[in-house]
Structure 1
Amino acid sequence: MEKIKVGISIGDVNGIGLEIIIKTLADAAILDYCTPIVYGHTKVASFHRRSVNAHDLNFNVITEASQAHHKKANIINCWEEDVKIDLGQSNEVGGKYAFLSLERATSDLLSGQIDALVTAPINKDNIQNENFKFPGHTEYLQERDNAPESLMFLVSDTMRVGVVTGHIPVAQIATAVTTEKIAAKLKLMNASLKNDFWIRKPKIAVLGLNPHAGDNGLIGDEEQTIIAPALEEARALGILAMGPYPADGFFANATYAKFDAVLAMYHDQGLIPFKQVAFESGVNYTAGLSFVRTSPDHGTAYDIAGQNKASEVSFREALFTALHIVKNRRENVVLNENPLQFSKLSRDRD
């Protein structure tokens, strides 16, 4: 069976993206599990390869994904011109080439030339252009996929956290949290836990919006008027959703360990505790799309770019998580095409 082709976008060329990519692919054992295809440029990759002393890693240069060598790390040149790299600096150059890499990789993903996408960190500010007017990868990929909804889903061995609202200002959170949106995210989370992670009957905890989950309306009534109706709707569909829980005590008492996933109301409510317990190994997965996309759960780390200090653990976890989900989805297709046939037992048995 042909190995899974994983496309890798390089992120900001002035950050640690290529460093963690190179460190991951320098382990030849990776090639036993997948065929990696980096979307960038050989000269930029060589610059970063020298900075981490990865002299044994040689990329196989190809022009399209179908030419990928299954026993080598492959690279597609997404532009022709030379690029001036300023390690540790946020500038237009970093954003321009991060987008060119992401755009080409996403196009190949949508056309079926690659099986999954792992994205290295971008700078959400300098990547903005006429074709990228989004607060992050998640929103861009959702639009490219024409998906009505998606879920930012942070996953690790110890915790899984999704968020109702993602990259929006704090001042807009209360109005953005609606019964309809919570219910939609719960449906996506439940489906992902079943189909992508093979959890048969997922248990999902839902956090409150206000301190102390509103204290029965004393500190806000969103828990009663918005979140509770969403929970009722989810339960009517057979989703095991419980809450709303006060966020502080929920994480402080490690109550999350009793659930398969947690739905937080906003970005920092979920990501701060997640990164506290899983920063090295955490993965950002975009659930709800027709394709598989993962990324490490950290940023460009300009402060250590080019110093050979960046850990590749989260990126490697993102790569293996993508492989795991692709395999699970493929096996689900096979099982659904060939379901086990059950026959009624005869009363005439001896």
Structure 2
Amino acid sequence: MSERKPRIAITMGDPAGIGPEICLKGLRDPALYAQAEWTIVGDRALLAAEVKRCGLEAILHRVELVDPGVLHGHTVQPGKLSSECGAAAVEYVRVATEMCLSGKTDAMVTAPLNKEAVTLSGRQFSGHTEYIAELCGAEEPCMLLSNEKLSVVHVSTHVSLRRATELTRERIIRTIELGHEAMRWMGREQPRIAVCGLNPHAGEHGLFGREDEETIRPAIEEARARGILCVGPTAPDTTFLDGVRGKYDLVVAMYHDQGHIPMKLIDFEQTVNISLGIPIIRTSVDHGTAFDIAGQNKADARNMESALRMALRMARGRIAEARAATQAEVRR
């Protein structure tokens, strides 16, 4: 298999938010642009207007544009919630997902959409991760957050805390395995993984709950038996500090806030959201639509650039893995 550039799709997000602006600003670095073939899925007229507003005329010549035409001439008011924009944002995600599933692209990067705007369009919607998983026919997606200092994968995300405590050994093992695979695509051949406990002090040997000993520990032992380097259950209040200091590459969090709060404190601007448990690579910014500054050329695109670089890194890792598998098959 000859070396080739990864092909990566970027969804524009909610047209009334900062998505159009950060999609363009994220590709300002010529060195980043040169490493892949980029496609923006969004509204052509709106992107052209954003180019003029931000002085980024050269960017549109660097990328391919795919415009599904879903706005139908609707006038977009920056910063204003609307059902039309919510519906358009979801359609951009659907188109990019289909591009990945068909092999036209190797990965996708999503700009932020607004859940309230999507709901106004008449669709029940809990988030990007769940919607993309539905399109892919994947039943148990999970979320990984990653920056240069640490990565964290979540056993549960957008569910109530009560539901999040209903752990199963199988779900924990699968989350560990998915995190391990993702870290390998990022270049960590044998990632060091810490698995957090659910309760304070990882249950203190049953004093603060039985879940850590009865469910989490057996899952860790099974993951170890499958060749994964992982430890735990570890006390959540010290695990992230140990990770930042270099002891671990990946932390497995049991629920949304256990992982999100420390990661956003560690490095909010550079933390990237990655969907696992689906057959495609999808990364995203880890912030919202910022309606208060939309259309004003004030958006900071550092998080988008990090998401683009992560998609590129993972796509390269997956392509290299496929190439190695093909070469091994030929040698047989």
Aligned partner of 1:316 among 294, 305, 329: 305
Match of 1:218 in 2: 207
In structure 2, the CA distance between the partners of 1:197 and 1:57, relative to structure 1 (3 Å rule), is: closer
Which segments of 5 or more consecutive residues in structure 1 lack a partner in the other structure?
60-71, 343-350
Deviates more, 1:147-156 or 1:289-298: 147-156
Q: State the distance in 1 between where 2:245 and 2:218 align.
A: 22
Amino acid at match of 1:149: E
- For residues 135-154 of structure 1, what are the structure 2 equivalents within 5 Å? 135-154=126-145
* Contact 1:163 1:267 survives alignment (8 Å): yes
Aligned residue in 2 for 1:46:
48
Q: 2:250 aligns with which of 257, 261, 268?
A: 261
**Larger helix fraction of residues:** 2
Return the alpha-carbon distance in structure 2 between the equivalents of residues 333 and 263 of structure 1.
26
Instruction: Please tell me whether the aligned partners of residues 205 and 256 of structure 1 are also in contact (alpha carbons under 8 angstroms).
Output: no
Q: Deviations over 1:168-205 (max 9, x none)?
A: 12232112x221211111111122222x1232222210
Q: In the TM superposition, what is the alpha-carbon distance from 1:47 to its structure 2 partner?
A: 3.1
8 A Cα contact 2:243 2:249, kept in partner: no
Give 1 or 2 for the bigger CA radius of gyration.
1
Q: How big is the shift at 1:3?
A: 3.0
Moved more, 264-273 or 36-45: 36-45
1:191 is paired with a residue whose SS is helix
**TM-score of the pair, normalised by structure 1:** 0.86
Corresponding residue for residue 35 of structure 1: 37
Match of 1:63 in 2: none
Count residues with an aligned counterpart. Answer: 328
d(CA) in 1 for partners of 2:206, 2:212: 8
1:216 is matched by which residue type in structure 2? H
TM-score (normalizing by structure 2): 0.91
2:171 matched to 1:181?
A: yes
Name the structure 2 match of 1:7: 9
Distance 2:120 2:171 in 1: 28
Using the TM superposition, give the Cα deviation of residue 302 of structure 1 relative to its aligned residue in structure 2, in angstroms: 1.9
1:25 to 24, 27, 34: 27
Task: Classify the secondary structure of the residue corresponding to 1:153.
Answer: strand
Q: Which runs of 5+ in 2 are unaligned?
A: none
- Aligned residue for 1:168, secondary structure, equals coil
Residue deviations 1:74-108, cap 9 Å, x none?
A: 21221161122222233312211101211112122
Residue 102 (structure 1) aligns with: 93
Structure 1 residues 94-147: Cα deviation after superposition (integer angstroms, max 9, x where no partner): 211101211112122211122211110111232248995441111122222223
Q: Deviations over 1:223-249 (max 9, x none)?
A: 111111111211221222211122122
- Whole-angstrom distance in 1 between the partners of 2:139 and 2:171: 11
